[in-house]
A and B are shown apart, each in its own frame.
Chain A
Amino acid sequence: MRTKIFVFAALLTLVALALAACAAPAATTGKLRVGLITDVGGVNDKSFNQSAWEGAQKGAKEFGWDIKFIESKQPTDYEKNIDQFATEKYDVLITVGFLMGDATAIKAKQYPNIKFAIVDNAYFPTKGVAYCDDTKKDCYDDGGLKNVTSLMFQEDQVGFLAGVLAGGMTKTGTVCTVSGMEIPPVVRFVVGFQNGAKWIKPDVKTLNVYIPSFIDPAKGKETGQSMIAQGCDVVFGVGGNTGNGGLLAAKEKGLMAIGVDVDQYNTYPEVKGALLSSAAKNVDAAVYNYLKSVNAKSSKAGVFTANLQNGGVGLAPFHDWDSKIPQTVKDKIKTATEDLKSGKLATGYK
Chain B
Amino acid sequence: MAVLANKQRAIKISSRQILNAVFIGIGAVAVFLVFDAIIGGKCDSKCVIGTLNQAIRYAAPVALAAYCGLMCERAAVINIGIEGMMLTAAMVGYGVNVYAFTWLKAGGMDPALAGDASRWLSLLLAIAASGLMALLHGVVSIRFKADQIISGTVINILALGITGYFYRQYLAQDIPPGPGTFAPFDIPLLAQIPILGPIVFQGQKPIVYFMMIVTLLIHYVLFFTPWGLRTRAVGENPRAADTLGINVFRVRYINVLLGGALAGFAGAWFTLEAVDVFNPQMTNGLGFIGLAAMIFGNWSPFGALAGALIFGLGNTITTTISIFRPDIPSQIPQMLPYVLTILVLTGFVGRAIPPAADGQPYEKQ
A residues whose Cβ falls under 8 Å from a Cβ of B: 3-4, 6-8, 11, 14-15, 18-19, 21-22, 40-46, 73, 182, 207-213, 215-223, 225-227, 229-230, 241, 244-245, 248, 268-270
Would B173 and A44 count as touching, CB distance under 8 A?
A: yes
Which chain B residues (154-175) contact chain A, with CB distance < 8 Å?
154, 157-158, 160-162, 164-165, 167-168, 172-173
Q: Indicate if the CB atoms of B145 and A44 lie closer than 8 Å.
A: no
Q: Are A15 and B161 in contact (CB under 8 A)?
A: yes
B265-299 residues with Cβ-Cβ distance < 8 A to A are 270, 274-277, 279-282, 284
A-B contact pairs, 22 of them (CB 8 A): A11-B158, A15-B157, A15-B161, A18-B165, A22-B165, A46-B277, A73-B280, A73-B281, A207-B326, A208-B323, A209-B319, A215-B279, A215-B281, A217-B275, A217-B277, A218-B58, A222-B54, A222-B58, A222-B319, A248-B275, A248-B276, A270-B177
Given known pairs A3-B144, A226-B316, the reply for A221 and B161 (CB within 8 Å) is: no
Partner of A209, one of B157, B275, B276, B323: B323
Binding site for A on B (CB under 8 A): 47, 50-51, 54, 57-58, 140, 144-146, 150-151, 154, 157-158, 160-162, 164-165, 167-168, 172-173, 177-178, 180, 270, 274-277, 279-282, 284, 315-316, 319-320, 322-323, 326, 330-331, 334
Does A245 contact B319, Cβ atoms closer than 8 Å?
no
CB distance from A185 to the nearest CB of B (A): 15
A225 touches which one: B54, B276, B282 (CB < 8 A)?
B54
- Does B162 contact A216, Cβ atoms closer than 8 Å? no
Q: Give which listed residue, A8, A182, A216, A222, contacts B282 with CB less than 8 A.
A: A216
Is there an interface contact between A11 and B140, defined as CB atoms closer than 8 Å? Answer: yes
Chain A residue with the shortest CB-CB distance to B323? A207
Please state if A221 and B284 are interface contacts (CB–CB under 8 Å): no
A245 to chain B: which residues have CB within 8 Å?
274-275
User: Given A218-B282, A248-B277, 10 other A-B contacts at CB below 8 A?
Assistant: A11-B151, A11-B154, A15-B157, A44-B173, A46-B277, A182-B331, A215-B279, A218-B274, A248-B275, A270-B277
User: B146 touching A217 by the CB < 8 A rule?
Assistant: no
- Select A210's contact among B58, B161, B330, beta carbons within 8 Å: B330
- Minimum CB–CB distance for B187 against chain A, Å: 20
Q: How far is the CA of A182 from the CA of B331 in the complex (A)?
A: 9
A215 touching B284, Cβ below 8 Å: yes
Residues of A near B178 (CB, < 8 A) are 270
Do A230 and B161 touch across chains, with their CB atoms under 8 A apart?
no
- Nearest CB on B from A129, distance (A): 21
Asked whether A222 lies within 8 Å of B334 as measured between CB atoms, the reply is no
A217 touches B323 (CB 8 A): no
Q: How far is the CB of A5 from chain B (nearest CB, A)?
A: 10
A-B contact count (CB 8 A): 127
Given A222-B315, A241-B277, verify A212-B282 contact (CB < 8 Å): no
CB-defined contacts of A213 to chain B, threshold 8 Å: 284
Q: In the complex the two chains form, what is the Cα distance from A229 to B57 in whole Å? A: 15
Give chain B residues whose Cβ lies under 8 Å from the Cβ of A269. 177
A229 / chain B contacts, CB cutoff of 8 Å: 47, 50
Determine which of B164, B279, B319 lies in contact with A45 in the assembled complex, contact meaning CB atoms within 8 Å.
B279
For the complex, give the distance between the alpha carbons of A4 and B276 in Å: 41
Cα distance A285–B275 in the bound complex, in angstroms: 30
Interface centre among A6, A40, A230, A245 (most CB of B within 10 A): A230
Contacting residues, chain B, for A218 (C-beta < 8 A)? 58, 270, 274-275, 282, 284
Say whether B157 contacts A226, CB under 8 Å.
no
Is the pair B275, A6 in contact by a Cβ cutoff of 8 Å? no
Bound complex: CA A43 to CA B282 (Å): 15
Cross-chain contact A21 with B323 (CB below 8 angstroms): no
Cβ-closest chain A residue relative to B154: A11
- Inside 8 A of A3's CB, which chain B residues have their CB? 144-145
Q: Which residue of A lies closest to B283 (CB)?
A: A218
When the two chains form their complex, are residues A44 and B172 in contact, meaning their CB atoms are under 8 A apart? yes
Residue of B nearest to A16 (CB): B161
- Compute how far the CA of A209 lies from the CA of B318 in the bound complex, rounded to whole angstroms: 9
Which residue of chain B is the closest to A208 with respect to CB atoms?
A: B326
Alpha-carbon separation in the docked complex, A245 to B274 (Å): 9
Q: CA of A331 to CA of B142 in the docked complex: distance in angstroms?
A: 70
Query: Closest A-chain residue to B318, C-beta based?
Result: A209
Q: Quote the shortest CB–CB distance from B57 to chain A (angstroms).
A: 7
In the bound complex, how far is the Cα of B319 from the Cα of A11, in angstroms?
A: 41
| A248 CA / B177 CA spacing, docked (Å) | 14
Per the bound structure, the CA–CA distance linking A219 and B311 in Å amounts to 13
Please judge, given known A-B contacts A18-B158, A215-B282, whether A226 and B275 are in contact too, CB under 8 Å. no
> A7 contacts B54, CB within 8 Å?
no
Return A261 CB to nearest CB of chain B, in Å: 15
- Nearest residue in A to B161 (C-beta to C-beta)? A18
Q: Which residues of B contact A21 (CB under 8 A)?
A: 161, 165
The reply to whether A222 and B57 contact each other, CB–CB distance below 8 Å, is yes
Bound-state Cα–Cα, A245 to B51, Å: 18
Q: Which 4 A-B pairs have the closest CB atoms?
A: A18-B161, A44-B172, A210-B330, A218-B274
- Please tell me if the beta carbons of A230 and B47 are within 8 angstroms of each other in the complex: yes
Once A7-B140, A229-B47, A269-B177 are accepted as A-B contacts, the answer to whether A216 and B284 lie under 8 Å apart by CB is yes
Report the minimal beta-carbon distance from A172 to chain B, rounded to whole angstroms: 15
CA distance A3 to B146 in the complex (A): 8
Q: How distant is the Cα of A46 from the Cα of B173 in the complex, in angstroms?
A: 9
A22/B164 contact (C-beta < 8 A), A217-B282, A222-B319 known:
yes
| Cβ contacts under 8 Å, A22 to chain B | 161, 164-165, 168
Check B315 against A219 for contact (C-beta < 8 Å).
yes
Beta-carbon nearest neighbor of A228 in chain B: B50
Report B-chain residues with C-beta under 8 Å of the C-beta of A42.
279-280
Tell me the bound Cα distance from A213 to B318 in angstroms. 14
Q: Give min CB distance, A23 to chain B, whole Å.
A: 11
Distance A316 CA – B286 CA, assembled complex (angstroms)? 35
Q: How far is the CA of A217 from the CA of B90 in the complex (A)?
A: 13
Complex Cα distance, B151 from A265, in Å, reads 42
